[in-house]
Structure 1
Amino acid sequence: MRAPSIKTLLSVAVAGALSAAALSGCSSAGAESSGWAKSPETLVFAAVPDKAGSDANWKPLQEYLAKTTGYEVEYYPTSDYTALIAALTAGKADIGTMGGLQYVMATAKGAEIEPVAASLTSPDAEDAGYFSEAIVPADSTITSLSEARGKSVCFIDPNSTSGFLFGLKALSAAGLDVTSTGVDASGRPKFDDFTPIFAGSHDKSAQAVASKQCDLGFAEDTVAAEAVEKGQVKVINREYVPGGPFTVSSALPAEAKTKVTDALRGASVENIKKSGVPLTDGFTSSYFGVLAVDPSYFAPISDLCQNIAAANCAS
């Protein structure tokens, strides 16, 4: 998925804009029979923009994949996490990039995808993980998450890895009850111990906390760091999160799947530069290469899904 954090983060439109059923109904017989999402030798790359206008940040990687595999690569933007999961489940994408929770949720829904690489978070990182950070306004008297009881808490989206699932983990560890007591009019979970506010993206969560629309909130570390630098918020807790994966469709023909997997695992910034693909500021400021992974890397997220029912990972 620190786009931007080019990762994860993080959605900008209305949830549910696309449904799995609608996407499934749009599949062409030719694509289904060939194993390609759209047509033979055309790769469909699906992602969720972290911020409005961030789609172009993926262009260098798309061009690198096209050069390396010899296939055409088309970008498939989705409005939010729900739409991305629906697209993957319906077989509308050959490659996906997302947070770890979206991967777990998509596979729970039957998406035939395999995680092959995870995004590194800095130029010198040896691990693809990052942190979900709990933030409060810079002048807040709140110093620990145990003080969140009775407060308003900004999350990103019910399908967000660092902006919801790991936020609930942190609140639970601080002694708050994270058992959902029902859903609101939009179908989002409610809680007795705190009032959830879903900001929609990591930068919007940080902004809402800075402007005191929320007493505290959660955002991925790169976004939180920007707000800390500006003197808007301070960090009171952090939780390690496995990095977001790049996935490959299991339905692709074996040769194509091998080519795509090798290309993604070899997509270092150095290799992309050597290929002659022009790099953009948006890309180089948020993309630092990848680490090869397999499904076992996401076991901590699967475990949380089993233990925190409000995450509703299989829905």
Structure 2
Amino acid sequence: MKKALSLVLTLVLVGLLAACGGNEAGDNGGSASSGSKDTITMVWYPNESGSELKGARDEFSRIIEEATGKKVEHQTTTDYIIAIEAMANGNADIGYMGAQGYVEANAKSDKVQPLFVQSGESGTLDDAVYYSWLAVKKGEEDAYKSGSEFSIDNIAGKKFSFVSNSSTSGFKVPSAGIVNHFSQMEKFKELTAEDLLQGGSDKVFTEVLFGGSHQGSAVNLLTGKSDVAAFCDTCVANYVELVSGDANKPGSVYKVKEGAEEPFNTITGQEFVLISVTPVLNQPFAINTDTLSADDQKKLLELFTSDAVTNNEKIFLPKDAEGTAIFKKKSGEEKFVAVEDAFFDPVRELSGN
């Protein structure tokens, strides 16, 4: 019954694709052959679909239109699965996806391939990672320590918020860590990631919530809906600032910035503490090779790996600059680099795809 219900929900979501996702430049009217298309459709996860990032999305439009001579339409979404299905079924030509979402889309259609990814601080793939956080509200962090060190032992029995079960850093990575930790205990020795999707008296968590986006999961924590939440550093970087400790280290304290935009605008000043931090492979920009011509693929790769884009402050916000962008440099060396499918094998192995 659960599998049947899941299938029905998936079909409904796909059927409502146009209704659920915002199309910022009009309706593309469905997919067309890659050779005849005069429009490139970009799909975005909920994390990058907010109004505060419209300027950043518009800059992607501008530079892609200049490079290809084609109109760009943005499909914003309210659910990860909408973006994944859009890429797999050819309703979108390019999408900024988490590694897990890419793996899922690629499993549905091998026409979905990665094109480029943000480098690490070295400017290479060697350190192309971001961070999955488990966080608790400031003032409650001592309950999650074993001696002087942070431990996830005491997240059991709490209300927990994930992002989406298709999120790499908001579900797949943290759930793998939780399963690995708690399956060492007799009570949970048969624990699987699927068991973490629901709460209950016989489960690890009393209640399980899904934020729908990293921002939503963080808000679940800060508004008291959950005791612990999983979300990533990059997706909340525009809304929070480091108060104390070292960035991306357990024990670090972060605060919602004054003037933060929705959904944080009503909880400015709220603080949270990291109790667990795990590195995650950076998210790729993936393409559907069946709907995007080989010529456009080449043009896009040359464009996004160029110095012009690396130095474009509307794409990569400089290290110490104020403002809102999808990408913000930490070292100044970050840029987009070409990437191949095999780079994501560790996530594929984690997911069993």
Calculate the TM-score normalised by the size of structure 1.
0.76
Q: CA RMSD in A?
A: 3.4
CA distance in 2, matches of 1:274, 1:257: 22
- Residue 8 of structure 1 corresponds to none
1:165-244 → structure 2 map (5 Å cutoff) = 165-176=172-183, 177=188, 178-179=191-192, 189=198, 192-194=203-205, 195-222=207-234, 223=236, 226=241, 228-230=253-255, 232-244=271-283
Unaligned 5+ runs, structure 1: 1-14, 307-313
Alignment of 1:261 onto 2:263: no
Offset, 1:284: 6.9
Offset, 1:96: 0.9
Larger Rg: 2
Q: Is the 8 A contact 1:134 1:238 kept in 2?
A: yes
Letter paired with 2:167 = S
CA distances 1:148-169 after superposition (whole Å, capped 9, x unpaired): 2222111111111101111102
CA distance in 1, matches of 2:11, 2:232: 24
Change beyond 3 A, Cα 1:17–1:270? same
CA distance in 1, matches of 2:216, 2:17: 29
Q: Is the 8 A contact 1:91 1:111 kept in 2?
A: no
Offset, 1:116: 1.4
Offset, 1:69: 2.5
- Residue 245 of structure 1 corresponds to 284
Offset, 1:92: 0.9
Alignment of 1:282 onto 2:281: no
- Residue 158 of structure 2 corresponds to 151
Greater shift after overlay, 192-201 or 261-270? Answer: 261-270
CA distance in 2, matches of 1:58, 1:70: 17
Partner of 2:273, secondary structure, is strand
Unaligned 5+ runs, structure 2: 1-8, 19-26, 146-150, 243-252, 256-269, 316-321
CA distance in 1, matches of 2:10, 2:54: 19
Calculate the TM-score normalised by the size of structure 2.
0.68
CA distance in 2, matches of 1:274, 1:114: 26
Offset, 1:263: 2.0
CA distances 1:54-106 after superposition (whole Å, capped 9, x unpaired): 33321112211221223222212222211101111210111111111110111
Change beyond 3 A, Cα 1:235–1:271? closer
CA distance in 2, matches of 1:87, 1:284: 21
- Residue 266 of structure 2 corresponds to none
CA distance in 2, matches of 1:75, 1:111: 23
Runs of 4+ in structure 1 over 6 Å off: 26-29
Partner of 1:283, secondary structure, is coil
CA distance in 1, matches of 2:274, 2:195: 29
- Residue 100 of structure 1 corresponds to 99
Partner of 1:282, secondary structure, is coil
Higher strand share: 2
Partner of 2:226, secondary structure, is coil
Q: Is the 8 A contact 2:163 2:171 kept in 1?
A: yes
